[in-house]
Chain A
Amino acid sequence: MEQLVMILLFVAFLQNRIMDLRKAVACLCLQSAIIAGACLISGFANGHGIHSVLPGLLTILVKVCLIPYALFRLVGKLTDERELVAEINTNYSTALSAFFLMLSYVLVDKMLPGIGDRDIMASSMGLILIGLVLIVMRSRAIMQIIGLMTMENGIYLLGLAMTEGLPTVIELGIFFDVLVAVLVLVILTNRLNVSFMTTDTNVLRRLKG
């Protein structure tokens, strides 16, 4: 499990440095697959029967298949947006992500000293904060959706690490929530594209009161 978490962190850092939209979505897909794997492993370890494997399968279905498919379709419509604003952004966001990861390690050590899965907890908190960083630092709508998804993954991982598996109803609820959120965001990004010919959220700056 710890190795999986290490790979996850690596992928998250990688996400920070990707500029291209398709590659970013692919990276998200990879991230979600790792989360699904972690979920399956924890499901096998903690229980038996179909309802222990169900969350993992659902994760694969929703987060690895459906959502990246929707995102890919959306990216396909945005034909002339490939590059992001500047490369300075990536350095800053990487530095910030590292700082937040360190912060989350410090927090976990302070609040829950001597706990077993210190790595998982710290990295899930770090993942949440990295997701926030992605949302703040990126100006394209797709990247912000990816940041949101990263946050969701982090929260899910945190929940996974703290419990032995959430009740099925809650898991279903979380998935529906995520699914609907992403669908809404995809629709909105489409509208954004139609209205403004671009999904750069910087143009929305003019819309203040």
Chain B
Amino acid sequence: MTDYVPEFFATAIFCYILGCFAVLIPRRHQLFAHYFAQIMSILGSTIIFILAGIYLLSNERTLLKVAFVGRYMLAIDGWSSVFLCITGLAGILTSIFAVDYALAYIGKRLRELSGLWNLFLLSMVLVLVSQSAVSFLVSWEVMAIVSFLLVNHDSEKRETWQAAYQYLVMTHIGTAAIMIAFFIVGSCANGLNFIELSSSHLTGTARVLAFMTSFLGFALKAGLVPLHVWLPNAHPAAPSHVSALMSGVMLKVAVYGFGRFIFEFLGPLDFWWGALVLIVGLLSAFFGALYAQMEKDIKRILAYSSVENMGIVFAAMGSGMLLLTTSHKEYAVVGFTAAIVHSFNHSIMKSLMFMVAGAVNHAVDDKNIEKMGGLAKLMPWTAACALTGSLALAALPLTNGFIGEWLMFHSFAFLAHADASTGIRLLAALAFILSGLASALALGCFVRVFGVVFLGRPRARRAESAHEVSRFMLFAMVIPALLIFLSGIWALPIVTIAQHVIEANISAINLSDEGQLLLWDNGSGILNYDTFILLIAAVVIAVCAWFIIYRGQIFVKHDVIWNCGTEPTLRQQYSGTGFSKPIRRAFDFLLKPRREVVFLQKENKYFGRSMAYTLTIPDRFTEKLYIPVQHHLVKTASFLRRIQAGSVRIYIGYVMVAMVLVLIWGAM
């Protein structure tokens, strides 16, 4: 089977390229162009997913060459096959969703949307299979530009192009940092292929600089705090299926890149590197979950939730890196496995939730959750999928979101064990605190989102007339919902595969004697979470309890609820902002919300004034970090602008002075 891999890979690439050509189909056939492009992307993604799956299941550890483009080799190895799997799966799901969802964009550059969609997937696949710094960077740049174009699709609206330009600037800063990192590593190596870069000998400041720049670049792309400010702006601006793909796959490609650097290029890791990655990941998890509770735009909530989950992934990687520097190197496997498994799971969960957001947006035509409510009656299937997604993102057992977090907790526990020094213990304690806060906040966040959007009574007229979405979109949502439960229950194969990948990658670990059974050794009690037993017990108990509880006629329908004896009005229903009020108050030293109360006219001579109340939560990262930097940059630029005097003679004068100086210097 592996003999045909290059042919299949070429077929997949060809499918994508054909899909890109949908742009050229004339405008009156734009529907056909759209369907054609989406089918091509589904085909291409399926092939990629199958290829990556075959590679992973075949347990190979070697590089599998798939293509040669000029001088540059494209190949799959263990680490990239995981992410190819993620790309393929998310590509399939979101492309199926986009078949019907993007029909809302007929007449608004639909062909470009579908064509660029294929190019986006193609560029991400190319990033993952590049084996040279040059091809990596070129594909990375194509990915960045195409995602900018996709985000900027509704470019007539002001907030769309503002968000898109912010994203463009920030992603280029990240790309610049990655380029610098590659070139620093490459300057101490023989060439710029990954194989040659792996054997580079970096020392001293060059190593530190390479790590810092690579971490900066990849953290920016993955959306870690404080470099995350583009995420909550870019995701609502983009069409929903684009946000799903960006959040589900593009952020993971950053994890892929960072993993390459850590495992291959940077050599033995320092202690503070792992600590830095861990702390940044934890802070991202905490702040992401916190800000997610405060937002009222459903896509911003999901974007902050992506920040949180990426924080979890990086925190797991950080703890793995830390464990590599201690004396128990084999425990590091747990940390890295947690990172991969959570990436995979998160791509499924987040794609599902963004698709749900798209469906809700489509039905209600508004992104504000305060205007929704009671959608579970009108869109039952969507609500069921959303419930599954919320369960998974809140990291509850028997769903796949739990597994990544569970493994991460275990890696923190190993961290506390591995070294008896107080410093690492306190670091592990800090990790537990912040990740506990993050998971509790995430739970609250998804209770809030699901509750406000789907439960209760409709809060606005538009929500009353919502309708269920079409079958394609439902199909695209039901598959990830099923996958969530399947990969939550059948978790052992996935974790084992991830573990094999990690063990192949980290040369510092010598496999223990029992080899692969480190994780699931029930007897020694290291890690045990047997999902099947839990599932069987759950099913048995559930069946018994269901019959006991729901037997007979137990329901009586009345018109009103108790509500403490009062007549319930629509305004008494809790809003999302109200729901998160205690959390907002608990963390107001971090959030610093601004309240503004304006008293309007008096209605009555003696009492009763109407007032307007505005609550804004400023994005403190933007205010405290980005705006001062921008301000200083603009001031410096204005100062340097005086060189540009406007007079041609002065410019030639500059040339003359320079020439004279060079001549004088040459004479000496």
Contact = CB atoms under 8 A, between A and B. Distances in A.
B648 A132 contact: no
B664 A103 contact: yes
Given A201-B648, A208-B646, A136 B653 contact: yes
Nearest to A141: B648
Interface residues of B, number: 18
Given A132-B652, A135-B652, A136-B653, A103 B647 contact: no
B659 interface: yes
A103 B649 CA distance: 22
Interface stretch (A12-20, A48-56, A105-113, A176-184): A105-113
B482 interface: no
Interface string A116-150: 00000000000001001101111100001000000
Contacts of A173: none
Candidate in A103, A106, A132, A136 with the most chain B CB atoms within 10 angstroms: A136
A114 interface: no
Nearest to A96: B656
Given A107-B667, A132-B652, A135-B652, A205 B647 contact: yes
Given A107-B667, A110-B667, A111-B666, A204 B656 contact: no
A138 B648 CA distance: 11
Interface in B610-655: 644-650, 652-653, 655
Given A202-B647, A207-B646, 13 more contacts: A103-B660, A103-B663, A107-B663, A107-B664, A110-B668, A111-B666, A129-B656, A132-B659, A133-B656, A138-B649, A139-B649, A204-B646, A205-B647
B contact face: mostly helix, strand, loop, or mixed: helix
Interface residues of A, number: 23
A133 B656 CA distance: 8
Given A103-B660, A111-B666, A136-B653, A204 B648 contact: yes
A139 B649 CA distance: 8
A205 B650 CA distance: 10
Given A110-B667, A111-B667, A137 B659 contact: no
21 contacts: A106-B667, A107-B664, A107-B667, A110-B667, A111-B666, A129-B660, A132-B652, A132-B656, A133-B656, A135-B649, A135-B652, A136-B649, A136-B650, A202-B647, A204-B646, A205-B647, A206-B646, A208-B644, A208-B645, A208-B646, A209-B644
A136 B652 contact: yes
Nearest to B648: A201
Contact of B656 (A136, A138, A201, A205): A136
Contacts of B649: 135-139, 144, 201
> Interface residues of A: mostly helix, strand, loop or mixed?
helix
Contacts of A110: 667-668
Identify the interface centre among B648, B660, B667: most chain A CB within 10 Å of its CB. Answer: B648
Interface of A: 100, 103, 106-107, 110-111, 129, 132-133, 135-139, 144, 201-202, 204-209
A103 B655 CA distance: 17
A103 B659 CA distance: 12
Contacts of B666: 107, 111
Give the residue among B645, B650, B664, B667 with the most A Cβ atoms within 10 A. B667
Contacts of B659: 132
Nearest to B647: A205
Contacts of A137: 649
- Interchain residue pairs A-B with the least CB separation, the first 6: A208-B646, A205-B646, A110-B667, A136-B653, A132-B656, A205-B647
Contacts of B655: 132
A107 to B, nearest CB: 5
Residue picked from A106, A107, A132, A137, most chain B C-beta under 10 Å:
A132
Nearest to A136: B653
Contacts of A204: 646-648
B194 to A, nearest CB: 43
Nearest to B653: A136
A205 B645 contact: yes
A171 to B, nearest CB: 25
B640 to A, nearest CB: 13
A171 B653 CA distance: 29
Nearest to B655: A132
Contacts of B645: 205, 208
A209 to B, nearest CB: 7
A208 B649 CA distance: 13
Contact of A201 (B644, B647, B664, B668): B647
A130 to B, nearest CB: 11
Contacts of A138: 649
Contacts of A209: 644
Contacts of A202: 647
Nearest to A131: B656
A84 B457 CA distance: 83
Nearest to A109: B667
A146 B655 CA distance: 18
Interface in B3-42: none
Interface in B563-613: none
A208 B650 CA distance: 13
A96 B468 CA distance: 84
Contacts of B656: 129, 132-133, 136
B276 to A, nearest CB: 42
Contacts of B652: 132, 135-136
A205 B655 CA distance: 18
A67 to B, nearest CB: 21
A40 B33 CA distance: 72
Nearest to B651: A136
A154 B466 CA distance: 82
Nearest to A209: B644
B238 to A, nearest CB: 32
Contacts of A111: 666-667
B654 to A, nearest CB: 9
Nearest to A107: B667
A151 B459 CA distance: 79
Contacts of A205: 645-647
A202 B650 CA distance: 10
Nearest to A132: B656
B538 to A, nearest CB: 69
A202 B644 CA distance: 14
Nearest to B649: A136
A202 B647 CA distance: 6
A209 B646 CA distance: 8
A176 to B, nearest CB: 24
A137 B648 CA distance: 11
A111 B666 CA distance: 9
Contacts of B650: 136
A96 B648 CA distance: 19
Nearest to A139: B649
A133 B652 CA distance: 9
A84 to B, nearest CB: 13
Contacts of A106: 667
A208 B664 CA distance: 32
A138 B652 CA distance: 11
Contacts of B644: 208-209
Nearest to A108: B667
Contacts of B667: 106-107, 110-111
A106 B649 CA distance: 27
A205 B663 CA distance: 29
A201 B648 CA distance: 7
A110 B656 CA distance: 21
Contacts of A139: 649
A208 B646 CA distance: 5
Interface string B471-513: 0000000000000000000000000000000000000000000
